[in-house]
Amino acid sequence: MARRTHGDRRKTILRVAGRLFSQRGYYGTSIRDIAAAIRLQGGSLYAHIASKEELLWEIVDEAAQAFLSSLEPIVRSGRSPVEKLRLAVAAHLWVVTERQDAAVVFNHEWKALSPRRRADILARRDAYEALFREILQEGIEAGVFRADLNVPLITRFILTALNGVAVWYRPKGPLSPEQIAEAFTDWVMRGLRRCEPPETSG
Amino acid sequence: MARRTHGDRRKTILRVAGRLFSQRGYYGTSIRDIAAAIRLQGGSLYAHIASKEELLWEIVDEAAQAFLSSLEPIVRSGRSPVEKLRLAVAAHLWVVTERQDAAVVFNHEWKALSPRRRADILARRDAYEALFREILQEGIEAGVFRADLNVPLITRFILTALNGVAVWYRPKGPLSPEQIAEAFTDWVMRGLRRCEPPETSG
DNA sequence: CATTTTTGCTAACGAACGTTTGCTTAAATT
DNA sequence: AATTTAAGCAAACGTTCGTTAGCAAAAATG
């Protein structure tokens, strides 16, 4: 059976820290806040963690991994640009809704990291954005997306709008991640595609 | 001539506080940080301000005013929905680029306000969003925008993408606010409009 | 020029911060 | 049952926080 309690506490701490960091920010959350949320004394956390920044790092690092590892196979697949974009949007929204706190912290609190770790996260954020740009670029070169798109700019618009979902999404709200993905894809795609007569009637 | 220095110092403090709050966040910026940036001692600021939160409030309140007062006349004008949306996007981006720090602080640091002030800001933020929704709704009812748009959702996407510009925009960068507005409007509008043959040649 | 007001300094306040220490209890291992 | 290991507490460390008090220089006002 191995051990039961060991590591569980640590995961609880990480989960609670993620929630508080996402709600109040890194500097707005104290070690004692995190401890109190699981009915511990502040100092007791240090039996499980090395430092407050380590907590932030683990949350942000895990989010970076989640984003990158979900997008890479899509970009590398042999699908069409349109299909790639559709999947990429869905994948991004999957991470954003399934790991909401980590996504918010990843997007808003990376500045609180040490310079070395901040640089690491920024590099991976850039790599992610570059993968997204690749899809748009490919679509342009394949002639399915309009050639006059400002790819870096539009990519940023898309990613910003998608990341914003992490801030307002509520699992018990009226919209499922799939519905959000569909509405977003549907709307975004129209802005990208070259003008063609509609395929369906209506 | 009235007084020369009076009020200047205060405005300087507000400007510097806005910059630091936007770069490091409210909790990540200390009174001594702000003071040091204008070569003063921490305590000296209190000859000009009542509290740190007052600084945050003035920045956020001013931004709220700027956003609302720039959008209201557009929504109330007799223009077409398409023209209203174009102007609204341009106005939003004008505020966001011209008062960049305040816009970032308005979007990211309002949580640090006292409950009463936070509620005030949230109400005005909601009012702003409602004005934006009105434009989309009007466009649907006029038959120029697609009827199947999820208006609250798309409005959120648009505003989030626009607010994101406040984070990455650089006045000395390659893109002017006007270029950003044009690319954005151009792209967004295609996702909203009902399919029609283009009116203009080219 | 005298005086009031503004501006800034130094020093300190009490509170909260992240973190460490030493001790105790509980759990797991032999 | 004895012993090692893990988990948590209470208290304190040194630092930084927002803010205040008392005093000095500078500027504006009469």
Selection from B65, B61, B55 nearest residue B18 by Cα = B55
Residue-number span of the structural domain to which A133 is assigned: 51-192
Nucleotide nearest to A50 (CA to C1'): C19
User: Is residue A40 located within the same domain as residue A65?
Assistant: no
At B198, is the pLDDT very low, low, confident or very high (cuts 50, 70, 90)?
A: very low
Interface of A with B in 71-90 (CB under 8 A): none
Burial class (CB in 10 A: 0-12, 13-18, 19+), A61: middle
Where a domain ends, among A13, A30, A49? Answer: A49
Contact B121, B170 (CB under 8 A): no
pLDDT at A39 over 90: yes
- Indicate whether B133 belongs to any domain: yes
Give the domain CATH number at B22: 1.10.10.60
Tell me the helices (H) and strands (E) count for chain B, helix number first: 8, 0
User: Is residue A88 located within the same domain as residue A104?
Assistant: yes
Q: Which two tokens stand for residue A154?
A: 């539009």
Interface of A with B in 116-135 (CB under 8 A): none
DSSP-H helix ranges across chain A: 8-24, 31-37, 52-76, 81-98, 100-108, 115-141, 151-168, 177-192
With b meaning 16 or more CB within 10 Å and e meaning fewer, what string describes B121-131?
A: beebbeebeeb
Contact A52, A112 (CB under 8 A): no
Using a pLDDT cut of 70, give the percent of chain B over it: 91
- Indicate whether A198 belongs to any domain: no
Segment A25-37, tens digit of pLDDT: 999 999 999 999 9
Nearest CA in chain B to A28: B27
Contact across the interface for B158 and A153, Cβ inside 8 Å? no
Concatenated DSSP letters for A89-133? HHHHHHHHHHTHHHHHHHHHSGGGS-HHHHHHHHHHHHHHHHHHH
Please state, as a whole number, how many other Cβ atoms lie within 10 Å of the Cβ of residue B146: 17
- Total number of domains constituting chain A: 2
- Indicate whether A184 belongs to any domain: yes
Question: At B192, which amino acid appears?
Answer: L
Burial class (CB in 10 A: 0-12, 13-18, 19+), A60: buried
Segment A126-146, tens digit of pLDDT: 999 999 999 999 999 999 999
| Residue with token string 């007569």 | A197
- Indicate whether B175 belongs to any domain: yes
More confident residue, A52 or B8: A52
At B6, is the pLDDT very low, low, confident or very high (cuts 50, 70, 90)?
A: low
User: Is residue B59 located within the same domain as residue B117?
Assistant: yes
Q: Which two tokens stand for residue B41?
A: 């001692």
* B36 to B39, B41, B47, B75, B183: CA distances (angstroms): 5, 7, 15, 43, 40
Nucleotide nearest to A35 (CA to C1'): D8
- Indicate whether A72 belongs to any domain: yes
Predicted local confidence at residue B7, as pLDDT: 67
Q: In terms of residues, how long is chain B?
A: 202
Over residues B57-62, mean pLDDT: 98
- Indicate whether B118 belongs to any domain: yes
Contact A121, A64 (CB under 8 A): yes
User: Is residue B33 located within the same domain as residue B75?
Assistant: no
Give Rg (Cα) of chain A.
20
User: Is residue B86 located within the same domain as residue B181?
Assistant: yes
* B189 to A132, B115, B183: CA distances (angstroms): 22, 38, 10
User: Is residue B102 located within the same domain as residue B152?
Assistant: yes
Bridge partners (DSSP) of residue B145 are B193
State the average pLDDT for chain B. Answer: 92
Q: With an 8 Å Cβ cutoff, is B157 touching chain A?
A: yes
User: Is residue A22 located within the same domain as residue A95?
Assistant: no
Give the domain CATH number at A143: 1.10.357.10
Quote the CA–CA distance of A187 and A163 in Å, as a whole number: 16
- Indicate whether B60 belongs to any domain: yes
User: Is residue B56 located within the same domain as residue B40?
Assistant: no
User: Is residue A144 located within the same domain as residue A88?
Assistant: yes
User: Is residue B97 located within the same domain as residue B13?
Assistant: no
User: Is residue A109 located within the same domain as residue A31?
Assistant: no
User: Is residue B1 located within the same domain as residue B76?
Assistant: no
Nearest CA in chain B to A182: B150
- Indicate whether A62 belongs to any domain: yes
